[in-house]
Amino acid sequence: MKQLAVISGKGGTGKTTIAAAFVSLAKKAIIADCDVDASNMHLVLKPEILKKHDFYALPTASIEPTLCMKCNLCRESCRFGAIEENFTVEGYRCEGCGVCEYVCPVNAIKMQIEKAGEAYESGTRFGPMAHAKLGIGEEASGKLVTMVRELAIRMAEEDDSDLIIIDGPPGTGCSVIATLTGADAAFVVTEPTISGIHDLGRVLEVASHFRIPAFVCINKSDLNEANVRKIEEKCDLCGATVVGKLPFDKTPTEAMIEGKTVVEYASNTFSSNIKQIWNTIKEEAGL
């Protein structure tokens, strides 16, 4: 089984649009939406949820006020400033390390596990999909990404499927690392803007750090020809392969408003370009 992770460094480059189009072109692929902070894939694929799994992040400290003697040891020991002056815990800051529980001389602090989100096994018109929703402001999105990927692998085994297409989160941090770990190839969507080039550099570094071959698609490529050349040079330098270019086009926005993939929405140049890119990446990455 192969896993293709679609990432972008920067958000808004058209990652989900292209990942969704790939899903509609792939035969028997499992879809994994790993952008658990702000997932959008479901807006296009409209999954029907078949199974729900609760997601528990790390526990959070909780102080029992009737036991607390306000000795301040917990506040002094917490490296994250999570305990307020009135000895309540600011949940957003608590990392769940358990130091306060350990130092409390009267056992007034307990670590409590709370539900931090949900992961789903769903069906879509293109096949099975694993996705998730992280609770607002919750931590450990990397952990939830790992859970979605484990679900996708299990679903792929059950479905006898040999490909997982992962829609990744933006950035280069925690959840992107969890998306890339163990993937067979990274498909990077970029755009010829100076911030696009900058973020491409960082995300290619992450891919090469984890030794994952990277394939690059330049979206909105007619917006700035000089920047396209800079992207091609950067890819050359980083050992990444440019597998295609897409024009600045209204098709993705129109398709999105209709709730369709671009391939379903229109059979125009834009969608035939996407088909070509899909065939190239399949061959180049051996999917």
| Contacting residues toward another protein, per CB under 8 A | 9-13, 16, 37-38, 40, 43, 58-59, 77, 79-80, 92-93, 95-99, 102-103, 134, 136-139, 141-142, 169-177, 191-195, 198-199, 202, 205-206, 209, 223-224, 227, 248, 253, 256-257, 259
CA atoms within 13 A on the CB side of 119: 22
Our measurement of the distance from residue 219's CA atom to the centroid of its chain's CA atoms, rounded to an integer in Å, reads 19
Smallest distance, another protein to C-beta of residue 44, A: 9
CB of 163 to another protein, least distance (A): 25
Least gap, CB of 1 to another protein (angstroms): 26
Q: How far is the CB of 137 from another protein (least distance, A)?
A: 5
Residue 241, Ramachandran bin (φ over 0: left; ψ between -120 and 50: alpha; else beta): beta
Residue 96: Cβ within 10 Å count: 19
Other beta carbons within 10 angstroms of residue 69's beta carbon come to 11
Choice between 91 and 213, CB closer to another protein: 91
Nearer to another protein, 121 or 199 (CB): 199
Q: What is the DSSP letter of 137?
A: T
| Cβ proximity to another protein, 85 vs 136, nearer residue | 136
Q: Which residue, 67 or 113, is less far from another protein as judged by CB?
A: 113
Q: How many CA atoms lie within 13 A of 214 on its CB side?
A: 30
Shortest Cβ 52–another protein spacing (Å): 19
Q: Which CB sits closer to another protein, 61 or 156?
A: 61
Nearest approach, Cβ of 15 to another protein (angstroms)?
A: 9
Which is nearer to another protein, 68 or 97 (by Cβ)? 97
Between 163 and 217, name the residue whose CB sits nearer to another protein: 217
CB 128 within 8 A of CB 54: no
State the minimum distance, in angstroms, from the CB of residue 272 to another protein: 23
Least Å from the CB of residue 8 to another protein: 8
Cα→Cα distances 268→50, 218, 264, Å:
34, 18, 11
Point out which residues pair with 131 in neighbouring strands. 120
- What is the distance between the alpha carbons of residues 38 and 60, in angstroms, rounded to a whole number? 23
> Under 8 Å CB-to-CB from 166, ≥6 apart: which residues?
3, 4, 5, 6, 19, 32, 33, 34, 149, 152, 179, 183
**In terms of CB distance, is 134 or 188 closer to another protein?**
134
* Enclosing H/E stretch for 63: strand 60-63
The phi, psi pair for 155, rounded to 5°, reads -65, -35
